[in-house]
Chains A and B, each alone.
Chain A
Amino acid sequence: MSDLTQAALAPGGGRTMERARALVRSRSGLIGLILIAMLTVLSLFSAFGWLPYDPIAQDPPSRLQPPSSTHFFGTDQFGRDVFSRVAAGVANSALIAVVAVAVAAIIGTLCGVIAGFYRGVSDGVISGVTNVLFAFPPLLLALSLASVFNRNWFTIAMAIAIVYVPIFIRVTRGPVLSLREIEYVKAATSTGQSRSRVMFRHVLPNITSIIIVQVTLSLSWAVLTEAALSFLGLGTPPPAASLGSMIFDARTLVTIAPWTMIAPGVVVVLLVVGLNLLGDGLRDALDPRNRGKK
């Protein structure tokens, strides 16, 4: 992360187009982008209802059919179309991951910036809470949180979010601490600009690249965490499909209907691979030292 910190400390941030080009130029970024784009399209289809079948509609007479032209990925034990469910599952898993990471990023960044920028008591409290959350076994934390509340996709997202908040705090606090000492920020403060103005105008823009990279990495972890929670019986409640719960449900079916496992299994791997590659690409593209030299 230290290289990123330095990257962030380079002032300025308006070269969006240039960075986008850099992202597309890097091979891993491009592959990641394509994978994520494909899966996004798939989940959009599901969001608009453009799927061959209703993902939760049951058709018991056609249970457990192998893949065919009518059911690309076969059917599950309720006669539901696995392809449609995978599409809906991508949408749900992505929704959970995105909401979880968004909440974690917003709260975490805010706390991290406050702690780093204002120091003092707020830093003490925030860093203290961060340390506590870090020392708490993460999966057990999510597990307990998921069993406290009535379970739906939102509470699961929140449980995962709480696990990731401290990561964002830690990732942002350090750079903000250094930024504080940098000349132009000091200058801005001394010219009488209000502290919050300085924070939003000068500090936040400089740590966006760190946050963006952390977001993509956390997204892939969040997808896997949701899957792990499903394994422990605390994932997305049925009948809604999520990739994690589909894999978990298919575990016992795998000998008689392997397609129920393979389809969501492959897609979850593609999703995570895509997010990781995208994260790599973004890291390269946003790191100023990588620009211009190859």
Chain B
Amino acid sequence: MLLTITRHPVLTRILGAAATLLGVAIFVFIMLRAIPGDQITAGLGTEAAALTPDQRAALEAYYGLDQPLLVQFFTWLGNIFTGNLGFSSRAQESVLDLTLQSLPVTLELALFSIVLALLIGIPLGMMSASKPDSPRDAVGQVVGLAGLSVPAFLLATALLAILASSFGFNPNGQAFARLFENPALNLQQMLLPAIVLGFGIAAPIMRTTRTAVLEIRSNDFIRTARAKGIPPRRLQVKHVLGNALVPIVTMTGLQFGYLLGGAVVVEQIFSLPGIGRQVLLGIQQKEYALVQSTVLVIALSFVLVNLFTDLLYRIIDPRVRAA
């Protein structure tokens, strides 16, 4: 029974995901070529004006820009299937190696931020919901609003500048430390950016929690449970939070997916070598293969996070479970 229900949708989900990724591939390919400039002008700047036609032709051949667009596209796509994501002439490393270094940084940052956001957002949301329209609700709401309203780059710049100039605390001024090489320093370096991002994400999580808890509490089964005499604390945690988890997980998944490509600004300010910065640098340098492949990796992670959220949703949603 269960198998016949799940197998089919899962298969369509996977096919759908593949189609989405192909769409992303085509889209990013076209968009990159629509941006003015190419790797030659990005590298030489205005000095490119002094190139003779022969020199220009030599450079186009060097960067593979002399190939027709369709050939460029299918060569790239074909290479992807063999695990070759391209080569960055700037970094002198394969895009795969670069991504294997940068993706974990962003994943760690995203995970760290989400955990912080959940730690702030859920209790705050429950506190707010426990007594709507009370002062404690107001406090929760104000914190939530602040998270939604302060531009991340403003908060990041201010935090960094104040801590560095007043307290000399600036772990991000040191060379980036990988998690498994120097965990202590790595965690310090992740702290400020995770606070900035986590603060921003805590807001939607807090609001989702509050709404969900309020809604569930008005539901009949809670009233029944209360009538049955289940202790309020147990009621709160087991029934209310348990049921509120569904929208919270959905929101968390959404935010996590967003962070994969959306942490660029914070990565930039805190000098974290994450995947967002990799794309940004690639766009600036017009390293087509690098940007195409990296965006595809981000899209893939996004799709996977969504699948995972769905799965989690199936596990925790009491209605689905009961069926």
Contact = CB atoms under 8 A, between A and B. Distances in A.
Same complex origin of A and B:
yes
Interface of A: 2-3, 27-28, 128-129, 131-132, 134-140, 143-145, 147-148, 220, 224, 227-228, 231-232, 244, 247, 251, 265, 268-269, 272-273, 276-277, 289
Classify chain B: how many residues form its interface, as a range: 35 or more
24 contacts: A3-B211, A3-B215, A128-B23, A131-B20, A131-B23, A135-B21, A136-B24, A136-B27, A137-B279, A139-B261, A139-B262, A139-B264, A143-B283, A147-B35, A148-B35, A220-B149, A224-B149, A227-B153, A231-B153, A231-B265, A269-B149, A269-B150, A272-B149, A273-B148
Nearest to A26: B133
A89 to B, nearest CB: 14
A135 B153 CA distance: 23
A134 B257 CA distance: 9
A242 B305 CA distance: 35
B303 interface: yes
B23 A132 contact: yes
B28 interface: yes
A37 to B, nearest CB: 18
Contacts, number: 103
Nearest to A4: B211
Given A3-B211, A140-B295, A228-B265, A247 B23 contact: no
Given A148-B35, A228-B152, A272-B149, A137 B157 contact: no
Contacts of B153: 227-228, 231
A136 B24 CA distance: 7
B16 interface: yes
Q: Say whether chain B's binding surface is mostly helix, strand, loop, or mixed.
A: helix
7 smallest beta-carbon distances between A and B, as pairs = A137-B261, A132-B23, A135-B299, A272-B149, A131-B20, A231-B153, A148-B34
B20 A132 contact: yes
Q: Say whether chain A's binding surface is mostly helix, strand, loop, or mixed.
A: helix
Contact of B154 (A265, A277, A289): A265
Interface string B192-234: 0000000000000000000100010010000000000000000
A136 B276 contact: no
B149 A247 contact: no
Interface string B219-254: 000000000000000000000000000010000000
Contacts of A227: 151, 153
Interface string B100-144: 000000000000000000000000000000000100000001000
A166 B153 CA distance: 25
Nearest to B132: A294
B151 A132 contact: no
B258 interface: yes
Contacts of B152: 228
